[in-house]
Amino acid sequence: MRYVQLGDVPVKHHIQFKQPDGTLYKEQLFGTQGFSGRSSTMYHIHLPTCVSEIERIGERRLEAVPDDMLKHRHLKTRSFQAQGDAVSGRIPLCFNNDVILAYARTTDRMSYFFKNADGDEALYIHQGSGRLESMFGTLSYTSGDYLIIPRGTIYRLVEETVDTEIFVVESLSPIEIPRRYRNEYGQLLEHAPYRERDIRVPETLETHREDGRYKVRILARGIFHDYYYDFHPFDIVGWDGYVYPWAFNIQNYQPITGLVHMPPPTHQTFEAHNYVICSFVPRMLDYHPDAVPAPYHHSNIDSDEVIYYANDKFGSRRGIEEGSVTLHPSGIPHGPQPGATEASIGVKETKELAVMVDTFHPLQITKQALEVEDPTYAMSWKG
Rounded least distance, CB 171 to Fe ion, Å: 21
Closer of 333 and 346 to Fe ion (Cβ): 333
Give me the torsion for CA of 209, 213, 215, 216, rounded to 10°: 30
> CA 234 to CA 46: how far, in whole Å?
10
Least Å distance, CB 157 to Fe ion, is 31
Q: Which is nearer to Fe ion, 45 or 278 (CB)?
A: 278
Cα separations in angstroms, 121 against 150, 229, 247, 263, 334: 7, 24, 11, 26, 28
Give the count of residues interacting with Fe ion (CB under 5 A).
Answer: 1
| Nearest CB to Fe ion, comparing residues 154 and 294 | 294
Residue pair 7/236 in contact (Cβ under 8 Å)? The answer is yes
Q: Min. distance of Cβ 342 from Fe ion in angstroms?
A: 19
Describe the strand order of the beta sheet including 364-365 as a list of residue ranges: 199-200, 246-249, 145-149, 120-127, 165-171, 99-105, 91-95, 364-365
| Least distance to Fe ion, CB of residue 305, Å | 5
Segment 285 to 314, residues that bind Fe ion, using CB under 5 A: 305
Return the number of the residue (217 or 334) whose C-beta is nearest Fe ion: 334
Write out the DSSP string of 130-145: EEEEETTEEEEE-TTE
Among the listed residues 144, 141, 121, the one whose alpha carbon sits nearest the alpha carbon of residue 133: 141
- 23 CB-contact burial (10 Å; exposed 0-12 / middle 13-18 / buried 19+): exposed
Of 145 and 305, nearer to Fe ion (C-beta) is 305
CA–CA separation, 305 and 301 (whole Å): 11
Neighbours of 125 (CB within 10 A): 26
Site for Fe ion in 187-226 (CB under 5 A): none
- Please state the closest distance from residue 266 (CB atom) to Fe ion, in A: 13
State in angstroms the smallest separation of the CB of 334 from Fe ion. 6
Report the nearest approach of Fe ion to the CB of residue 297 (Å): 9
Find the shortest distance in angstroms from Cβ 261 to Fe ion.
11
Nearest residue relative to Fe ion (C-beta): 305
Residue 374 near residue 76, CB atoms below 8 Å: yes
**Minimum CB distance to Fe ion smaller for 222 or for 333:** 333
Q: Sign of dihedral through CA atoms 285, 323, 270, 159?
A: positive
Choice between 159 and 305, CB closer to Fe ion: 305
Contacts of 186 (CB under 8 A, 6+ apart): 1, 2
| 115 vs 267, beta carbon nearer Fe ion | 267
Q: Is the CB of residue 335 less than 8 Å from the CB of residue 297? A: yes
Binding site for Fe ion (CB under 5 A): 305
